[in-house]
Chains A and B, each alone.
Chain A
């Protein structure tokens, strides 16, 4: 197994790291998680950031280099409708700037900790979805004020 994480995982972790820093700098008590089931173990508000899928096309005809684009979902679970809109707007505003791409690896002697080395940028290609989610007429507390942002990014 490689010591360093692969690009898809690095893109996901770099995005989580960037948004977590931005959110913590401007908001208080917002939990940022990277797994859907963790959302339901944390108090609201929660932001769940995950790599959804990767599309890999050839950079150009005949090239052996792949042009990888990644789809990342940002699920917002808010306490109120106002908070949902504010958080979504804040995140969109931060996403418009490209962010640092880090190569991650496990810290030697402490496998639960990560080490980061900057290696370029994660570039936002498009915002695919930015919408309120209404999953059922009378949802559970956690599902009441939900918002989904789906973005397409690549390493530059």
Chain B
């Protein structure tokens, strides 16, 4: 009977590398989540025509969690966004007509239709002015543009770092989690 003793070299090292990689990707995802919130807020801000209270932007937050063993990062929760989030994204009318006033001029002025930049304060008070929006809100596409940005950044991240992966123990395992840095994200956090 022939007895063969063999030893697998480098397997533990490879497993450790996988663990490091997963940790680095998780950390990268969290950073990307933070940067996505900033980017989405920036997209809303630059598209706003009137002075904005920042309510929509401030309601966009980053969430993390686990579903089973899968770690996830999410940005924005519909239940926590103001109900007009979709109108801002895709455009349209915000019904119904409501009672309130413009911050400086008070009364709505028909000559300023589509040109005014003041903020409308909704009060619901019958002593204030009735505003019936006559011009639809144009689509800001703040979510769409942010998603496009995330896709570009995430694919760039893989394109930059996958080429640096060295073969060691098992094929195509990265040797160092340190190679999975996010210089552009670290910069945005400063």
Q: Is the CB of A139 within 8 A of B138?
A: no
Q: Please tell me if B141 contacts chain A, counting CB pairs below 8 Å.
A: yes
Find chain B residues with CB under 8 A from A92 CB. none
Question: What is the interface size of chain B, counting residues whose CB is below 8 A from a CB of the partner?
Answer: 18
| Interface size range on A against B | 20 to 34
A142: Cβ under 8 A from any B Cβ: yes
Report B-chain residues with C-beta under 8 Å of the C-beta of A138.
95
Q: Which of B84, B93, B139, B145 touches A142 (beta carbons < 8 Å)?
A: B93
B86 touching A37 by the CB < 8 A rule?
no
Whether the Cβ atoms of B141 and A135 lie closer than 8 Å is no
The answer, yes or no, to whether B116 is at the interface (CB within 8 Å) is no
Instruction: List B contacts of A36 (CB < 8 A).
Output: 91, 136, 138-139
Q: Are A140 and B138 in contact (CB under 8 A)?
A: no
- Quick check: is B87 within 8 A (CB to CB) of the other chain? yes
Residues in B whose Cβ lies below 8 Å from that of A15: none
A52, A129, A135: the one contacting B86 at CB < 8 Å is A135
CB distance from A125 to the nearest CB of B (A): 13
* Total A-B residue contacts, Cβ distance less than 8 Å: 53
A3 to B139, CA, bound (A): 31
Find the B residue at minimum CB distance from A140.
Answer: B93
B92 an interface residue at 8 Å Cβ cutoff? yes
For the complex formed, measure the closest distance between the CB of B163 and the CB atoms of chain A, giving whole angstroms.
14
Q: Is B92 a contact partner of A148 (Cβ separation < 8 A)?
A: no
A90 to chain B: which residues have CB within 8 Å?
A: none
In-complex Cβ contact of A52 among B83, B93, B135, B141 (8 A): B141
Q: Which residues of A contact B (CB under 8 A)?
A: 36-37, 39-40, 52-53, 71, 73, 75, 129, 133-140, 142-143, 146, 148, 150
A and B contact pairs by CB, cutoff 8 A, 28 listed: A36-B91, A36-B138, A37-B135, A37-B136, A37-B138, A40-B93, A40-B136, A52-B141, A53-B148, A73-B139, A75-B91, A75-B139, A134-B86, A135-B86, A135-B92, A136-B83, A136-B84, A136-B86, A136-B92, A136-B94, A136-B95, A138-B95, A139-B95, A140-B92, A142-B92, A143-B92, A148-B90, A150-B144
